[in-house]
Copies of this chain bind each other. A is one copy, B any other.
Amino acid sequence: MAKVRVHNLTVTLDGFAAGVDQRLEAPFGDGVEGLHDWMFAAMEDGATGVDAERVRLWDVNTGATIMGRNMFGPVRGDWPDESWKGWWGDNPPYHHDVFVRTHHLRPSFAMEGGTTFHFSAEPADVVLERALTAAGGQDVIIAGGAATIQQYLQADLIDELSLVIVPLLAGRGERLFDNLGDISENYRVDELVSSEKATHARLVRR
């Protein structure tokens, strides 16, 4: 059965998924330089070990993605035009339907390689239904950022969250584990494993 997953969400040792002042020149904001170094190293040819295994599992059986608007791009408020097409160039790595949650709607558009971006102001559960349909039986990934993941955790709509903790300190920014109340009622941690660069933990439903 299709799962709703967060996959390889990376946070600092002090729990931040992003720093402050996210913008074009700093997509994850200031204070989190190196946050994804573990991932880039794990994506190199011939990489092995737990980091590489987790990276490879990202797009296995994945049929659609949901993200918040700030993950899609640095534009805030109304779109000045439709020139912003995401951070990922002409051929984004998704290769499936990506649903961007935003109050600032614009028409869907398709990119090379099979990625189509859709924009929706509908509630979290409605967007998820659309994504599950688009995924055609494969998993849906809730990509980020922290606020979007919190909304889906609060609504108890996530089946599995694989978290990556890296040995950096941000001090401030956007925490993943915030505004969640007692999520321990719904989730438990079923795995903890570490490379030299990153610790991987997985939350699953109780």
**Contact of B181 with A171 in the complex, beta carbons under 8 Å:** yes
Q: Is A31 an interface residue (CB 8 A)?
A: yes
A194 in complex: contacting residue of B14, B180, B192, B203, CB < 8 Å: B192
Contact-residue bracket for chain A:
20 to 34
Given A192-B194, A192-B197, A196-B192, A183:B169 Cβ within 8 A: yes
**Contact of B196 with A169 in the complex, beta carbons under 8 Å:** no
Stretch of A105-113, A124-132, A160-168 at the chain-chain interface: A160-168
**Contact of A169 with B189 in the complex, beta carbons under 8 Å:** yes
CB within 8 Å of B: which A164-203 residues: 165-172, 177, 180-185, 187-194, 196-199, 201, 203
**Contact of B194 with A163 in the complex, beta carbons under 8 Å:** no
- Nearest residue (CB) in B for A33 is B184
For A180, list chain B residues within 8 Å (CB): 14, 171
A181 in complex: contacting residue of B168, B172, B187, B199, CB < 8 Å: B172
**Contact of B192 with A199 in the complex, beta carbons under 8 Å:** yes
A177 in complex: contacting residue of B14, B184, B187, B197, CB < 8 Å: B14
**Contact of A201 with B13 in the complex, beta carbons under 8 Å:** yes
A163 in complex: contacting residue of B13, B170, B181, B182, CB < 8 Å: B13
**Contact of A169 with B192 in the complex, beta carbons under 8 Å:** no
| A34 CB → nearest B CB, Å | 11
**Contact of A183 with B171 in the complex, beta carbons under 8 Å:** yes
CB within 8 Å of B: which A27-70 residues: 31
Give bound CA distance, A123 to B166, whole Å: 34
For A145, list chain B residues within 8 Å (CB): none
- Nearest residue (CB) in B for A16 is B177
Other A-B contacts than A15-B177, A171-B182, 5 sampled, CB-CB below 8 A, are: A167-B201, A168-B189, A171-B185, A194-B194, A194-B199
